[in-house]
Amino acid sequence: MSIQIFGLPVSRGVAIGRAVLIASGRVDVPHHFVDPARVDEEIARLTEARDTVAVEFDALKRDLPSDVPAELAALLDVHQMLLQDEALIGAAGDWIRERHYNAEWALSAQLEVLARQFDEMEDAYLRERKADLEQVVERLLRVLGRGVGLPAMQPHARDFGGDEPLVLVASDISPADMLTFKRSVFTGFVTDVGGKTSHTAIVARSMDIPAVVGARQASGLIRQDDCIIIDGDAGLVIVDPSPIVLEEYRFRQRQSELERSRLARLRHTPAVTLDGERIELLANIEMPEDAPVALEAGSAGVGLFRSEFLFMGRGIDLPDEEEQYGAYRRAVEGMNGLPVTIRTVDIGADKPLEGMTQSELRHESVLNPALGLRAIRWSLSEPSMFRRQLRALFRAAAHGPVKILIPMLGSAHEIRQTLEQVALVQRQLSESGKPIGKVQLGAMIEVPAAALTLPIFLKHFDFLSIGTNDLIQYTLAIDRADEAVAHLYDPWHPAVLNLVYQTIQQANAAGRGVSVCGEMAGDPAFTELLLAMGLRSFSMHPTQVAAVKQRVLRADTRRLAGAVDIVLASDEPEKAWAEAQVAGGAPALSPARLASVA
């Protein structure tokens, strides 16, 4: 009997194949007390397991194929960082020393402590790194158990018989395990857990493979060798489809493959609308190693480099100036002279600050970290940490064009404090004689208070970047991480669209640069509307650049602009925009123009 399973669409397209189930890799954990005389021996066993796993990670990274996505190597680095973090191994050693837990029990106990901290994080990307932590602990438990649990996953096509396409179904998949797969084996992924910024989603997008995550009980409902369809556009998994449905999706799959081929031909084509408007399509990246991916996608630079990766999982051991400078410099040099916009650390009240305990830090914001000490609020509360980052950024600007982006500003007071710190850093660097570059300073518009007081921001900043993810969340009072209300998260809400429109219009009128760096920028459904609003700079995941560029090439901004007032005045903007598009007859990319870019 055919069944349908719904999840989150994280990588577009259609995959059809036989299911290969990888059961949950959770290892049974023995619990017992260690004799006090053997505590040191047990800690040594834990340390030896860490060293063994570190060697495994090194071997995996060393043997990476040349064509492997950069995201996989970057995620391995994250796992190595978590493995070496004293908040995991050192704290687990404390459980052994103080409670006499065996090593496996100590690891599991510390995982529970850290998992609660990850669950409280506001930032979706950081929150979903909990899965990475769990997978590192799982590898450690496998080593400690001398093979107890699942063996390492190493599927090859011959293991499953024939050349029929295969799709992978699992509770979750670690990046290290994914590296053991041949890229040609699996044509799609389905996982029970995960979100749009989980590692499985990141890898699926980087490989341009259809994927659905967060499908809850998929691995329990799907049986080995079931015929399944993955609809990466709708977030739908169809198990044992009828012949009619199967044929329909096979047709859609062929159409999708043709579309991908067309998009690939547009990769290095200038993004210019039919009426001659040049559009800037930029990439969002997380690590310096993502720069080649951004270049390969045909982006015109980096519109958002999230610096949080340097601070993630560090506890109070925050990165110093030299470490940050080296990372920012690699990103800048990796873009070969194209501009790089680096956001100062946007981390929440869930991360401890220097000199403060976790309980002290979260005293005011434990109930809702989204409204607590996060982003620029955190930076301004720790000015020495903030100045270290600013110094590293100004020094990196000596190696290429850099823009500094300040997140979550909401008042004139915060703006003044930020500018004072910037001026102080510039004086320090000038006196030290260290080479620095000229930077543009920008503000993220992601708090309604900022969108409603734009003249203050336009007076002090060179450019604005609209963070639509948080702007939507704060405008609609919706916690994106809360499943009970997540369905109310609506980028088409009239209030959201009006704030975005007013921000774009006022920035353009003041001669300031303005871009959108949230999910709306990479969603082709919003491309023409944002163009109609006057937006000329978009920043998105590198794999979304080609699809958005296709929309840009087909757009005539003069014809589109006429529908904006109707849409903004409507109670149902999405419906009004669709009707306006039909009435206006969206122009198609002519064969001559398509041929000219081949």
Residues flagged as binding site for Mg(2+): 446, 470
> CB under 8 Å, gap of 24 or more: what pairs does 365-371 form?
366/120, 368/479, 369/120, 369/121, 369/122, 370/122, 370/473, 370/474, 370/479
Query: Rounded to whole angstroms, how far apart are CA atoms 180 and 178?
Result: 5
- Give the 3-state secondary structure of residue 303: strand
Listing DSSP states for 251-266 in one string gives HHHHHHHHHHHHHHHT
Name the percent of the chain in helix, strand, coil, to the closest 5: 50, 15, 35
Q: What angle do CA 27, 197, 525 make, to 5 degrees?
A: 145
Residue with tokens 């914001």: 365
| Main-chain phi, psi angles of 268, to 5 degrees | -105, 20
The bridge status of strand 302-306 relative to strand 402-406 is unpaired
Q: What's the Cα-to-Cα distance from 425 to each of 312, 385, 418, 493, 518, rounded to whole Å? A: 24, 12, 11, 41, 29
CA separation for the pair 399, 325 (Å, rounded):
11
Pick the catalytic residue: 31, 487, 493, 517?
Answer: 517
Residues near 572 by beta carbon (within 8 Å), at least 6 away in sequence: none
CA distance 521 to 537: 9
Our answer to whether residue 227 is catalytic in this structure is no
Strand-pair partners of 516: 466, 538
Residue with tokens 């459980």: 95
Name the residue type at position 559.
Answer: R
Per the listing, tokens 């002090």 go with 460
Alpha-carbon gap, residue 417 to 383, rounded angstroms:
10
CB 447 within 8 Å of CB 471:
yes
Three-state SS annotation for 140-194: HHHHHCCCCCCCCCCCCHHHHCCCCCEEEEECCCCHHHHCCCCCCCEEEEEECCC
Binding residue numbers? 306, 343, 446, 469-470, 480
Q: Is 541 a catalytic residue?
A: no
- Which residue positions form the known binding site for phosphoenolpyruvate? 306, 343, 469-470, 480
- Alpha-carbon distance 421 to 386, whole Å? 8
- If one counts every other C-beta atom within 10 angstroms of the C-beta of residue 206, the result is 21
Interior/surface letters 166-176, b for 16+ CB within 10 angstroms, e for the rest: bbbbbbbbbbb
**Residue 177 to residue 200: CA distance in whole angstroms:** 11
Exactly one of 79, 199, 399, 541 is catalytic; name it: 199
Active site residues: 199, 517
